[in-house]
Every structure is written in structure tokens, then in C-alpha cells.
């Protein structure tokens, strides 16, 4: 009787041990399979981001604005573009960035031979254009005497091909044809924040000013924490904040932007004086902190309606 009891205890103990071993083996097999799947997903995602970034080195440290853009085969535009872009044209193709490409003839027709000018910046003049199906866009043309050039043009197309956020201006097309370089954006009917702040009939309410601050903050947060790798804008200012028909703000002009590189390397100064981080000016090392400084200047500018070139910082120091 005692032997039977001992045998039952031994069998039970052995069964428990075997069960634990099997459970542990299954658990680690599941963890191993899941880890392998996650690594595969990350490799694929990283490959996609680097492909859209164009020109990144193997160590990921090369900036977009300093990389060499290698021409890749172009693909015919698919019907995934917005409805108002879907008109039949043999010259229109999609680049590897996913941004539709237009011919000069397309843009010339849409702008009615470049007649309605919306404004002009360091890049060149901006024209209002009506697409065949009724959509309104803004066309920015690179001027021959522009302080910016083809590198900035390529940077903007490359970056906006992979950056998508409700508080970033959407690039809907571009044109490289007949010696012309053009960027095609969604139309922001209320223009720039700078224009609104310093117009004679400035009637921005405090609610609108607060919402603009929040919108810009969300856009910058996405660049710094949502984009992979992070992006430093490097030219944040009120002139580069645009407002749509409902007074929602979006960050624009990414020509001087670069991927954040934390290797201590110096680069040539880029940006607009009055908005530039003093530490960046003295060290020539840009970081996400430089954008945060510029954002702070913009917020003070929204509150006071004093331009940085008009001794805004003296007012703040008071």
C-alpha cells in the first residue's frame, strides 16, 4: 500500500515537472517567433524609410540636405492620388518619393500662364493654380536668382514624400521640366501667419492665437518624435506657418530641413536671424532644441505681434 502511494506521488511529481517544462518551452518558442517577426517588420519599415529618404548612408548619419540624390526609375501615377489630380496625362509620373510629377505644360495651363501670384519668398514666386477638376493649389517656382537651389528642392520633395501630418503642409506634386523646378502644395487660403499678424486689420482672436500655437506645436512634435529618423526644420518662423480656410495652422517650407544627427558634426548656418537659436549660431550645431527655441519666438510673436527684427527679444527680457 505504501509503495503504491509513493509511486503515485512520484508519477504526479514527474507529470508536474514535465508539464512545467512543456509550458516553458512553448512560452519561449512563442516569444522567439514573435521577436523574429518584430525584427523582420522593423527591417522592412526601416528599408522603406531609408528608400524614401534617398541617399542615407549605412550608418544612418548622413543628412538628407547633404546627400546625393540618385535618379531612380519613375513609375506611372496610379489612381491612389487625390481625385482632383486624376486627369489623364502621359507626361505625369510618380517619383520614388510617392509625390506625383507634372509637366511644365500642365502647370502652365493650371496657372493660366502664371498670372495669379500669391506671394514671393526666398525660393521664388508662388502662383495660384486651378486643376482640371476644380481643385485649387499653390505652385512655388524656383527663381533663377533664388538663395535656395536644387538641393533644397530635392530635400523638400524627399522629406514630404514620407512625412504626413495634419499640421504639415501637404505637397501634392512637383515639376522638373524645361529647366524649371516647381513645388505644388495644397492651397492655404488664409496665407501666412506673418501676413495676418502684421496686417492693418489684424483681427485674430485669442482663441485663434492659442489654436495656432497648439497646431504648430503638434507639427513640430511630429517632426521630432513621430518621424523616423527625427527631422530638424531649421527655418521655423511666422512666414513659414500657413493657415487654411478654417484658420488651422500648418508648418511649411522644408527646404532647409535635415535629419537630426547626434554626432557632434558642424554644418553651415541655415535659417532666419531673429528666430535662430543663439547656441546654434555660436556652435553651428543644429538639433531639435534649435526648433524649440524658434517655436518659443513664434509664440511670443503671436502674443505680442512684435516681429523678431523689431527688438522682440528686448521686450521679452523685460
| DSSP per-residue letters across 36-69 | HHHHHHHHHHHHHHHHHH-S--TTS---GGGSPP
Measured from the Cβ of residue 15, the count of other Cβ atoms closer than 10 Å reads: 10
DSSP conformational letter for 225: I
Q: Is 251 helix (H, G, I), strand (E, B) or coil?
A: strand
Spatial separation of the C-alpha atoms in residues 285 and 81, rounded to whole Å: 38
Question: What gap in Å lies between CA 102 and CA 68, rounded to an integer?
Answer: 23
Whole-number Å distance between alpha carbons of 12 and 253: 72
Please check whether residue 157 is in contact with residue 97, taking contact to mean a CB–CB distance below 8 angstroms.
Answer: yes
Q: With contact defined as beta carbons under 8 Å apart, do 65 and 261 qualify?
A: no
- Catalytic site positions: 235
Cα–Cα distance for residue pair 69/95, rounded to 1 Å: 12
The residue behind cell 523678431 is 308
Q: Within 10 Å of residue 49's Cβ, how many Cβ atoms?
A: 15
Q: 294 and 302 in contact (C-beta within 8 Å)?
A: no
* Torsion sign over Cα 299, 117, 150, 219: positive
Amino acid at each position: 500500500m505504501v509503495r503504491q502511494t509513493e509511486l503515485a506521488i512520484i508519477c504526479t511529481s514527474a507529470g508536474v515537472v514535465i508539464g512545467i517544462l512543456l509550458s516553458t518551452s512553448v512560452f519561449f518558442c512563442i516569444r522567439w517567433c514573435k521577436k523574429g517577426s518584430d525584427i523582420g517588420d522593423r527591417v522592412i519599415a526601416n528599408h522603406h524609410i531609408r528608400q524614401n529618404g534617398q541617399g542615407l548612408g549605412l550608418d544612418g548619419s548622413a543628412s538628407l540636405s547633404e546627400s546625393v540624390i540618385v535618379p531612380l526609375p519613375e513609375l506611372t501615377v496610379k489612381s491612389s492620388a487625390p481625385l482632383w489630380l486624376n486627369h489623364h496625362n502621359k507626361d505625369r509620373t510618380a517619383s520614388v518619393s510617392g509625390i506625383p510629377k507634372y509637366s511644365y505644360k500642365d502647370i502652365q495651363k493650371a496657372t493660366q500662364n502664371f498670372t495669379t501670384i500669391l506671394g514671393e519668398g526666398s525660393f521664388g514666386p508662388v502662383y495660384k493654380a486651378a486643376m482640371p477638376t476644380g481643385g485649387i493649389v499653390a505652385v512655388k517656382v524656383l527663381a533663377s536668382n533664388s538663395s535656395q537651389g536644387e538641393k533644397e528642392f530635392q530635400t523638400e520633395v524627399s522629406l514630404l514624400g514620407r512625412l504626413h501630418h495634419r499640421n504639415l503642409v501637404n505637397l501634392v506634386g512637383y515639376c522638373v521640366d524645361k529647366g524649371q523646378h516647381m513645388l505644388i502644395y495644397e492651397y492655404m487660403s488664409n496665407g501666412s501667419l506673418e501676413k495676418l499678424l502684421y496686417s492693418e486689420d489684424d483681427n485674430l482672436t485669442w482663441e485663434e492665437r492659442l489654436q495656432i500655437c497648439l497646431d504648430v506645436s503638434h507639427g513640430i512634435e511630429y517632426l521630432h518624435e513621430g518621424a523616423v529618423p527625427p527631422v530638424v526644420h531649421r527655418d521655423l518662423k511666422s512666414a513659414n506657418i500657413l493657415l487654411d480656410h478654417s484658420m488651422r495652422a500648418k508648418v511649411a517650407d522644408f527646404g532647409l530641413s535635415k535629419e537630426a544627427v547626434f554626432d557632434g558634426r558642424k554644418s553651415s548656418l541655415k535659417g532666419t536671424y531673429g528666430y535662430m537659436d543663439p547656441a546654434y549660431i555660436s556652435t553651428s550645431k543644429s538639433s531639435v532644441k534649435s526648433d524649440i527655441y524658434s517655436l518659443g519666438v513664434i509664440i511670443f510673436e503671436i502674443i505680442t505681434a512684435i516681429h523678431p527684427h523689431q527688438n522682440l527679444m528686448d521686450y521679452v527680457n523685460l
